[in-house]
Amino acid sequence: MKEKLEQIRQEALKRIRESNSPDKLNEIRVAYLGKKGELTAVLKSMKEVSEAERPKFGQMVNETRAAIEELLKQAGTALETAAMNERLKHEVIDVTLPAKRPVPGHKHPNTIALEEVERIFIGLGYEVVSGPEIEEDYYNFEALNIPADHPAKDEQDTFYISGDFLLRTQTSSVQIREMQKGKLPIRMIAPGRVFRSDEVDATHSPCFHQIEGLVVDKKVTFADLKGTLDVFAKELFGENTKTKFRPHHFPFTEPSAEMDVSCFKCGGSGCRFCKGSGWIEILGCGMVHPRVLTMRGIDPEEYVGFAFGVGLERIALLKYEIDDMRLMYENDQRFLDQF
């Protein structure tokens, strides 16, 4: 039996030395060490060996297996080294060639506009606050003086997740949550994504960004609102910018107004950009409705507030003279590189 094992070892050694590829080495491994290999067949004949000789016989088989495995390992390593050396001869890297420089990224126009707005209001003493995008119907409508049967709800009755939860249609819900904390006075802005079932066109999208502002304090007047937004407009569009307020209606403010800014393209004389009017509508605003304060446990006889809301995309479109909102989200490198 010893002679048989030595013969197997020598045959395996010869075949391994003659091998010139990993596939052939694998064939040898299967032929000698596999389930139907030479050594496996020898082990099956162990029942013919006497009990006294079996330990020694088993040891000899294991030594032969270990020797073949070591030879296969050495041959495999040698083949890998030879293959690598051959590749290095042909795959030469010229280290003197100029490297490919990574193209640095930059901020999206929405991000640039948002940071500019935040800088202005933080400078005025405001705090930047965020809230959940999946909002309760109560915070999104009821607490803003928009009951279930209010006509204003039809315009925003949009993406519901369940009967009581929806994707928020405005960041005004963050204002409600801040008032609910009971920490007065409040000076805050709430930027974030909002969702409405709008058709996609040059000025509308079902997902866009809004910035809501809120001030709640004693002896706050509409003059404070006008002065704040006038400073905001001049900081954002230039010191020569003028503002005007037109009466409007919002359920959560009374009185309410729309604010226009003088066209920063023509200086108010009238052009294509402002459609010849000299003015551009920019945001909605007003004094916080007493009912909204009362629902949050704030005494409207002692505290007064004002609020405003502006679309972030609208600011970016105006400031950078972009004529189609869809360009903001198409990820066209040619467009984004301009910023």
What was the pLDDT predicted at 30? 77
Domain 110-336, CATH: 3.30.930.10
**How many whole angstroms separate alpha carbon 87 and alpha carbon 72?**
23
Enumerate the domain spans of the chain.
2-90, 110-336
- The two three-digit tokens of residue 114, written as one number: 């948002």
Q: How far is CA 127 from CA 113, 131, 132, 181, 188, in A?
A: 17, 13, 17, 15, 5
256 phi/psi in degrees, rounded to 5: -120, 160
Beta strand pairing call for 186-195 and 253-262: unpaired
pLDDT of residue 219: 92
Q: Which residues of the chain have pLDDT under 50?
A: none
pLDDT given at position 46: 65
| pLDDT tens-place string over residues 279-308 | 989 999 999 999 999 998 999 999 999 999
pLDDT score for 289: 94
Q: What is the pLDDT of residue 152?
A: 65
pLDDT digits 0-9 by tens, 21-41: 887 877 877 777 777 777 667
Q: What's the DSSP call for residue 92?
A: -
The pLDDT assigned to 231 comes to 95
CB burial of 233-272 (b: ≥16 within 10 Å; e: otherwise) equals: bbbbbeeebbbebeeeebbbbeebbbbbbbbbbeebeeee
CA dist., res. 309 & res. 259, Å (int):
10
